[in-house]
Amino acid sequence: MRLPEPALIVLIGPSGAGKSTWAAGRYRAQEIVSSDGLRGVVGSGPNDLDASIDAFALLESIVDARLGRGLTTVVDTLGLDAGRRRRWLDVASRAGLATVAVLFDTPAEECRRRNAARDRPVPARVLADQIKRHRGIRSDIEAEGWGLVVRLDQESAAPVPRIEAAGPDPDRRGSHGLRVFLQVSRFPWGAEPIAWLRDVAVAADEAGFAGLAVMDHLIQIPQVGRAWDPIPEPWVALGALAALNTGLQLGTLCTPVTFRPPGITAKAAATLSALTGGRSFLGVGAGWWAREHAVFGLSFPGPRERLDELERGIVTMKALFAPGTKAFSGDGVELPETTCYPRPGGAIPIIVGGNGNRTLQIAARHGDACNLTTSDPDRVLERLAVLRRYGDPKVTVLDTTVVGRDRDDVWARVEKHRGRIPAAAFAKRSNAGTVDEHRHRFAELAELGVSDVFVATPDLGGAEAVADLAGLTA
């Protein structure tokens, strides 16, 4: 069961129902606001009932502060007070968070048994009263307006099931249904460029990535780093990786057609394909950043002209990849002959990057795949509807994301990278999550018809960071 995020999650159940245990297995300590915990903060311990008024005053103010920032908040109390529930629901709804009521329908005898085993059991009469009140509110909950009501019996209170890893796939498709590529967009290689590149690629191969894509920009883009950070010419960098004995597909994501005449890009991709025995792909786009063009003395025409160039560029590349040397004429491209040796070592998939309607039309008409720069399922669906009007190429997505070992690690990374963006907004925008959460997301994307995901993370410091991502490919 996957719960929405960010969300207000209110736990409802008698003592010993397993509320705190359930919450601790799924959420970070800071995300859980517990009346027992706060009794221990302002009183002598979690069972200090004399501290209840102070503990609940604190609880309400913590709930308000967190929800106001759009942060996931789990309220761990008995949940039996309808007035409090209504207030939390109201605050969360106004803050635009999803709302979830989790009812713990643990059998009464199990609650009693667990209660009896505790250091300071709740008196039997009190527990009996809680159990009775809990039964009474089960039907009220439906009418309260929760976004989602989850009922847990003893069984389903167990931890979230994992997607089991399948055996190795020659295509390197994960058991979630996607091939996962590593998108390398930052190069913190210090004084050892070639060692850094080699180690990252070997780690990606060992981690089961289907391929490695290098970003193609002339200056590091502000979304990723500083203008003086190294950003290599990608075909030269890929040439170095071609010398490694990996099974990785290698290519760019994306090469703007404005950087090099398309025939020259075709030459580079064909050479890479020959050197790797057919392991090259070619991401192409219309380019978008005026500054890098100006600095490198390249012209940067308007969007329509660039898209025309993209279309003619792909036609040219495909003509040069095709067998034989005959003349080519069509789609605005005239070539007196198509002599391009060495021949590619295999088919070179052309992946067209971008979300615009015209870009999708070009991908469908001339490309082998599109690469959407969104991995949001609703947006992907909406773009697919447009794409399918024009044709049926493969669908790949660029997933600029944050991946953590566990929930604490995820939020530490969000805090590190969010800059001035509020944490909740950054986490949502970057799909921040654990490896397991990403695997569920990938399964959802596969269901929509996506075939490959290119994962770009801001934490790609080197080979160890790549190894940490291994779970994504299983």
The contact set with ligand CTP (CB under 6 A) reads 13, 15-21, 36, 78, 114, 157
Q: Least CB distance from residue 164 to ligand CTP, whole Å?
A: 22
Residue 424 site contact among Mg ion, ligand CTP, none (CB < 5 to 8 Å, cut-off depends on kind):
none
Closer CB to ligand CTP, 78 or 369, in the complex? 78
In the complex, what is the shortest distance from the CB of residue 77 to ligand CTP, in angstroms, rounded to a whole number?
8
Q: Considering the complex, state which of residue 74 and residue 257 has its C-beta at the smaller distance from ligand CTP.
A: 74
**Residue number, nearest CB to Mg ion:** 20
* Residue 204 contacts which entry, Mg ion, ligand CTP, none (Cβ below 5-8 A, type-dependent): none
- Work out how close the CB of 47 gets to ligand CTP at its nearest, in angstroms, rounded to a whole number: 9
Smaller CB distance to ligand CTP: residue 78 or 266?
Answer: 78
**Identity of the residue, 122 or 184, whose beta carbon is nearer to Mg ion in the bound complex:** 122
Nearer to Mg ion by C-beta: 78 or 253? Answer: 78
Residue 15 binds which entry of Mg ion, ligand CTP, none, CB below 5-8 Å type-dependent: ligand CTP
Q: Closest CB to ligand CTP among 17 and 446?
A: 17
| Least distance CB 409 / ligand CTP (angstroms) | 24
- Distance, CA of 404 to CA of 245 (rounded, Å): 29
Q: Which is nearer to ligand CTP, 63 or 200 (CB)?
A: 63
Cβ closest to ligand CTP, residue 137 vs residue 443: 137
Nearest to ligand CTP of 86, 118 (CB atom): 118
Residue 114 contact, options ligand CTP, Mg ion, none, Cβ 5-8 Å cut-off depending on partner type: ligand CTP
The distance of closest approach from Cβ of residue 36 to Mg ion in the complex, given in angstroms and rounded to an integer, is: 5
Shortest reach from residue 106's CB to ligand CTP, in Å: 8
Shortest Cβ distance from residue 17 to ligand CTP (Å)?
4
Residue with tokens 């012209």, as numbered in its chain = 299
Q: How far is the CB of 21 from Mg ion (least distance, A)?
A: 8
- Residues at the interface with Mg ion (CB under 5 A): 19-20
Least separation, in Å, of the C-beta of 405 and ligand CTP? Answer: 24
Closest to 370 measured CA to CA, from 394, 346, 391, 386: 394
Q: State the binding partner of 433 from ligand CTP, Mg ion, none, CB within 5 to 8 A by kind.
A: none
6 binds, among Mg ion, ligand CTP, none (CB under 5 to 8 A by kind): none
Per-residue H/E/C for the chain? CCCCCCEEEEEECCCCCCHHHHHHCCCCHHHEEEHHHHHHHHCCCCCCHHHHHHHHHHHHHHHHHHHHCCCCEEEECCCCCHHHHHHHHHHHHHCCCEEEEEEECCCHHHHHHHHHCCCCCCCHHHHHHHHHHHHHHHHHHHCCCCCEEEEECCHHHCCCCCCCCCCCCCCCECCCCCEEEEEECCCCCCCCHHHHHHHHHHHHHHCCCCEEEECCCCCCCCCCCCCCCCCCCHHHHHHHHHCCCCCCEEEEEEEECCCCCHHHHHHHHHHHHHHHCCCEEEEEECCCCHHHHHHCCCCCCCHHHHHHHHHHHHHHHHHHHCCCCCCEEECCEEECCCCCCCCCCCCCCEEEECCCHHHHHHHHHHCCEEEECCCCHHHHHHHHHHHHHHCCCEEEEEEECCEECCHHHHHHHHHHHCCCCCHHHHHHHCCCEEHHHHHHHHHHHHHHCCCEEEEECCCCCCHHHHHCCHHHHC
Report the partner that residue 359 touches, choosing among ligand CTP, Mg ion, none (CB closer than 5 to 8 A by kind): none
Angle between helix 82-94 and 52-68 (nearest 10): 20
